[in-house]
Homo-oligomer: A and B are copies of this chain.
């Protein structure tokens, strides 16, 4: 039987060069979490389907999940983290120190058609603030989202953070004369508008409220009004200004987000520039009723967002924000001249590692030029050459692989040099 050597569709093989890029992205995300005081947590990859029902988007759960049947239950591969987080918070009533700032970096799975910036398996970084309904928390979560992108060197030319509020939207729909019963349907249609033509967008709106004038007013409102017209936005932007991030932010009534559990603030980051991803780079909002849904005794508010590594990666690549090269982790290769000199190579490498200097000895008995080629291809900056004389004298030749320069050192000097270079 011939085995297909590729990963399943929508899944990724990350060889060292690609994994290095992913680790670069992960490190930035973790650094932002640490700098802003978010504590790391994690939950299971498989969850009972019950935690998603009536919370997450129906489409997501019914059609876009991978499910696993065991003897006793049907489990879902988590498509997002927030329901797991809500379950975990609800399960520790009275045992947590609020406000709680939480960070998760973990795998999510969606059974969707893979495309640019979207895979079936991807990592998401989730940042959440639990147990605070203050506008300061809304501002801090937006601040964190902006910091992620500026930490990669992105500027206001590269991205914009759009802000809206479900509450403000409902006030506006009321003002425009729509019936409260159809709010949810209207928001769902607005959420999907960028996937359809203008005409079919208007047709969809008319299908839930046949009043053409009202629908026209709504469309005008969505497309033209982008100023701060509510006291909530005015206050929020005054804090964003103090945080010096108002230049990245913009009110946008078209942003309503697809998940059912949002109750107030919703926001997303979109790429700017010629190769713009349709999909949001990051999205989130306030979900004040989600945890009490799990445990009515536990009325804990939440606000947070999630960003996928696949979308960030695509963004960094198209906006030329990825480093050109990553330094090799190994600093020194000790060559093995011949079988009798293995001892010395091993001894030197042991010594270097003891001093926390990343080092390798070559693993086979091959010619010196093959060993140097290995170091060169792996990007190892220094090679120690140990011949019979060096082994005897304990004075070693260190070759700088970039310049070709060779220096000799005794053991003590060698370590000093490698620590400071």
Contact indicator per residue, chain A 96-111, by CB within 8 Å of chain B (1) or not (0): 1101011000010101
Cα A85 to Cα B417 with chains together (Å)? 37
A359 to B140, CA, bound (A): 12
Q: Specify which of B96, B342, B356, B364 is in contact with A239 (CB 8 Å cutoff).
A: B342
Q: A77-110 vs B: 1/0 string, CB under 8 Å? A: 1000000000110111000110101100001010
Interface set, chain A 323-353, CB cutoff 8 A to B: 329-330, 336, 342-343, 346-347, 350, 353
> CA separation between A295 and B353, bound complex, in Å?
36
CB-CB under 8 A for A50 and B4, given A36-B353, A88-B13: yes
Interface mask (A14-26 → B, CB under 8 Å = 1, otherwise 0): 1110011011000
Whether B15 pairs with A87 at a CB distance below 8 angstroms is no
Give the interface segment out of A128-136, A176-184, A406-414.
A128-136
Kindly state the separation between the CA atoms of A377 and B98 in the bound complex, as whole angstroms: 10
Quote the shortest CB–CB distance from A329 to chain B (angstroms): 5
> A35 interface residue, CB < 8 Å from B?
yes
Interface stretch among A68-76, A186-194, A250-258, A388-396?
A68-76
Which residues in chain A, 173-209, are within 8 Å of chain B measured between CB atoms? none
Segment touching B, from A40-48, A222-230, A270-278 = A40-48
Partner pick for A342 among B3, B109, B242, B359, CB 8 A cutoff:
B242
In the bound complex, residues from chain B placing their C-beta under 8 Å from that of A364 are 99, 132, 134, 136-137
Residues in B with CB closer than 8 Å to A70 are: 66, 111
- Would A361 and B39 count as touching, CB distance under 8 A? no
Q: Are A41 and B19 neighbours in the complex by a CB distance under 8 Å?
A: yes
Contacts of A363 in B (CB 8 A): 99, 129, 132, 134, 136-137, 140
Check A37 for interface membership: any CB of B closer than 8 A.
yes
Knowing that A12-B43, A67-B68 touch, tell me 17 more A-B residue pairs with CB under 8 angstroms: A3-B50, A5-B88, A7-B47, A13-B44, A13-B91, A14-B43, A15-B41, A19-B40, A33-B329, A35-B359, A37-B380, A39-B329, A39-B378, A45-B121, A46-B121, A132-B364, A239-B346
**26 A-B contacts, Cβ less than 8 Å apart?**
A3-B48, A3-B294, A5-B87, A7-B47, A8-B46, A8-B75, A12-B42, A14-B41, A15-B41, A16-B40, A19-B41, A19-B42, A20-B40, A22-B42, A34-B329, A36-B353, A37-B358, A37-B378, A39-B329, A99-B362, A107-B107, A132-B363, A132-B364, A134-B363, A140-B361, A243-B350
